Amino acid sequence: MLDQTRPGLRSLIVWLAFIASIALGMLVAPFPVASQLASKVFRVGHLAAGGRTPDGGPPRPLREGLKAFGYVEGQNIVYEVRFAEGRMERLPSSVAELVRLKVDVLVAQGGLAAVAAKEATSTIPIVLAPAAGDAVAAGLIASLARPGGNVTGLTDESVQLSAKRMELLKEAVPKAARIAVLWNTSDQGMTLRYREIEKAARILHVEVQALGVREPDDFEVAFSTMARHRPDAMFLVADPLTIMNRKRFIDFAATQRIPAMYEFDFIVHDGGLMSYGPSQEESFRQAALYIDRILKGAKPADLPAQQPTRYNLAVNLKTAATLGLTIPPSLLLRTDDVVQ
């Protein structure tokens, strides 16, 4: 069995130091900060590689997190949001618009959005939001403790998570000998994650059916391939492109009766079988903490990047029943979120 993912001691120490620095900063200069929040209107840019939110603004947990820090939309903060909606060629022009608007901080959601933001500016602070991938491996930051440059925020543990997800999928489907993996090949962070999945598969003695996509039309090609060469299970690597097309993947899995692993629990609530990963809502609230610190004068280079501190296992029992799959009791006992 592969080791279960847990936040490392070093990551915990870095996070505690980060929290301590926040508390110290608030004690040292509370009155100037309060005055600044009351008198200045901050402009926050949000670049998302994925689909538009229902109201066209940044994700709700991010705005709620900033509101908790005293930022009121239309009073002391405004949002400039650009969505690529899965068309990654839109990212360079979208981020160029945000740079021209002279935003005070730029939030990058998705690995390709983060790369585009870093290429567009070396002066505007950039905060990495969920789904940005492994920021160190992708070259977005120098290290967790010392990000360097103008980029910091949230990053993944691609090695440990990929192995754990494969292990959990294999535990749910013990007879699985071939697992299809679908990922966005144009996203370096997701490709790095796929390579770790390959390594985990070798340890588990499982064959990987590699199905890379670059645009929405590629999904039908991937589905046709799986229909001809049926895998025993599937794994969807989550980035903005695949998340936008998740319903197509979920529907295909249901029609073909193929168990599938996902990376976020909201996909399980949408009808996916199982997931293992951090809470996106919690991650966006962490991103709000970075934004607050930067708007109060902190430099990204001085704010350690963070990996998630907690991972949740979610299982949809209704989907399992539809697939004719019995989830082992030993796995259900470790499940944090059971969807009936």
Helices (H), 121-264: 158-172, 188-203, 218-228, 240-244, 246-256
Q: Which residues contact 290 (CB under 8 A, 6 or more apart)?
A: 127, 152, 153, 303
Q: Which residues contact 1 (CB under 8 A, 6 or more apart)?
A: 167
* SS3 state of residue 213: strand
Domain span at residue 293 reads 9-156+278-302
In this prediction, residue 110 carries a pLDDT of 86
103 and 211 housed in the same domain: no
123 and 222 housed in the same domain: no
Its pTM stands at 0.83
Q: Could you give the CA distance from residue 326 to residue 27 in angstroms, rounded to a whole number?
A: 54
Mean pLDDT by 10 residues, the chain (340 residues): 45 50 44 56 95 93 97 96 91 97 96 94 95 84 94 84 93 97 91 91 96 94 97 94 94 97 95 94 94 97 91 97 96 95
Answer whether residue 163 is part of any domain: yes
In this prediction, residue 258 carries a pLDDT of 98
For 181, half-sphere exposure in the C-beta direction (CA atoms, 13 angstrom radius) is: 28
Answer whether residue 307 is part of any domain: no
197 and 234 housed in the same domain: yes
Helices (H), 101-157: 111-120
In this prediction, residue 37 carries a pLDDT of 54
Answer whether residue 1 is part of any domain: no
In this prediction, residue 18 carries a pLDDT of 52
In this prediction, residue 190 carries a pLDDT of 87
- Residue identified by tokens 């997190």 is 65
Element (H, E) at 101: none
Query: For position 208, which CATH number holds?
Result: 3.40.50.2300
Contact, 97 vs 286, CB < 8 A? Answer: no
In this prediction, residue 133 carries a pLDDT of 78
Answer whether residue 179 is part of any domain: yes
Answer whether residue 2 is part of any domain: no
Q: Could you give the CA distance from residue 330 to residue 340 in angstroms, rounded to a whole number?
A: 17
20 and 145 housed in the same domain: yes
